[in-house]
Structure 1
């Protein structure tokens, strides 16, 4: 009987060791995956044209470091709705160009605001410069948060007006930076004949139902260029 109890203890001990080893493997895998996601960039061999998006709350950014990391372009947040503005735009634009990056501007569409006020805000912030990349309009917020009800038809109408106004100022077709939630709500990617900018970390996005021109491949890339994680973007070859 004593030998049997000892055998059970031995088997129990081995099971505990195996479980502990498996837990260590899972823990190590989780740590590696977190590190990989924080630092992952698509291979330059597959996507030679890579860049970054800089938002208003990213703070100080070293564009020369971004250039050394492989960025060839930068999109800078310029305006938000009818009133929001990134006051660092002018300095960031000059610094990015000094580092040898091509630069474009981003406007964040507000479905609660009229197009005229939004385009006026964009024009105030972004110069008419033929060297700028095509402007991008970010479509992320839906009308569900508006103080008053805004119909889907009104959202689409104001967006089309805004597109036309920004294109008239820039002299180039806009790029539509469509968030998955916005597309799920309004299904505009297939209706608007503009190049698309989609978002999905690590895996190519397909939610728009047609090919993208720009892809935010990592929404929180940690680099030495900024204290804040940045959005790493690639262009379709």
Structure 2
């Protein structure tokens, strides 16, 4: 009976210690994945249908809200790519874009620029604004068009799907001609469904923070998956969006090499 009591006491202590780990537990899990990333999630989700940590290639997307960034620490943590906010609509540019763009390149972090699309400006106007602010250079990943319903009081419009797709296609065509790479579509669950984006044969970056994309976007191929907005990454203060590339490290190198020519 004494031996049984000791065993039960040990098991109870282990259970209590596990419950008290909090956010650091997710970092330990991720760092324990062989040569995987050394960052985690301050509010980890109980994933069903597949776990983002099963993907070996991780990255971030950022805007001015990340403040000062130690890009060498970011790269050393296992971050393989960064998408940096450049513009939105036809008259707003992220004040940290140029600095992040240069610092990421200096730290040898592959990076691409993204545009937050507004529905009160034409695709032509927004493409011109993006081109005005984002340099055309070898070594950059494809530009991204962020398609989601905007909560802005200055642009509350929700146009019909045919208008959304028409203007977004114009934007993408102009950027492809200028940068030599077809832009990637970033989108959210509600926007994807409301505008029947499943009918659009384009390259996708999907947001899904409560379920694996194969469940949330059934049948939709994707290249990138944004799986949390509460990531914890060395070199960045506060939370940051975390993403994964859909394939293996070898497939990532092939994808990157095709686009950095």
TM-score tier, shorter chain, comes to: 0.7 to 0.9
Residue 75 (structure 1) aligned with residue 83 (structure 2): yes
Which residue is equivalent to 2:165?
156
Shifted more, 169-178 versus 138-147: the winner is 138-147
C-alpha separation between the residues in 1 aligned to 2:233 and 2:140? Answer: 25
Q: Is 2:232 aligned against 1:217?
A: no
Instruction: From the superposition, tell whether residues 94 and 50 of structure 1 become closer, same or farther in structure 2 (CA, over 3 Å).
Output: same
Q: Structure 1 61/91 Cα, relative in aligned 2: closer, same or farther at 3 Å?
A: same
Change (3 A) 1:218 1:144: closer
Q: Is the 8 A contact 1:104 1:132 kept in 2?
A: yes
| 2:208 alignment counterpart | 200
- CA RMSD in angstroms comes to 2.9
Q: Structure 1 stretch 218-227 or stretch 81-90: which is displaced more?
A: 218-227
Contact 2:150 2:156 in 1 (8 A): no
> Could you report, residue by residue, the CA deviation over 1:175-220 in whole angstroms, capped at 9, with x for unpaired residues?
11111121122121x2222111112237532333312101113321
Any residues of structure 2 matched to 1:49-88 within 5 Å, and which?
Answer: 49-88=57-96
CA 1:218 to 1:143, structure 2 compared with 1: closer, same or farther past 3 Å?
closer
Structure 1 partner of 2:105: 97
Between the aligned partners of 1:41 and 1:54, the Cα distance in structure 2 is 21
Say which is worse superposed, 142-151 or 206-215, in terms of deviation.
142-151
| Largest Rg, 1 or 2 | 1
Specify the SS of the correspondent of 1:137.
Answer: strand
Instruction: Give the drift of 1:152.
Output: 2.5
Alignment of 1:135-150 (within 5 A): 135-141=143-149, 146=155, 150=159
Map 1:176-191 to 2 at 5 A. 176-188=185-197, 190-191=198-199
**C-alpha contact (below 8 Å) 1:176/1:197 kept by paired residues:** yes
- Stretches of structure 1 that go unaligned for 5 or more consecutive residues are 1-24
Q: Does 1:173 align with 2:182?
A: yes
Distance 1:203 1:40 in 2: 19
Using structure 2 for the length normalisation, give the TM-score: 0.71
- The count of residues paired between Structure 1 and Structure 2 equals 212
Name the CA shift for 1:136/1:229 in 2 (closer, same or farther; >3 Å): same
In structure 2, distance between residues paired with 1:222 and 1:69: 10
**Is the contact made by 2:161 and 2:194 (CA closer than 8 Å) also made in structure 1?**
no
Take 2:56 and 2:125, find their aligned partners in 1: how far apart are those partners? 38
1:66 and 1:231 map into 2 onto residues whose CA distance is: 13
In structure 1, what is the equivalent of residue 251 of structure 2?
none
Alpha-carbon distance in 1 for matches of 2:96, 2:165: 30
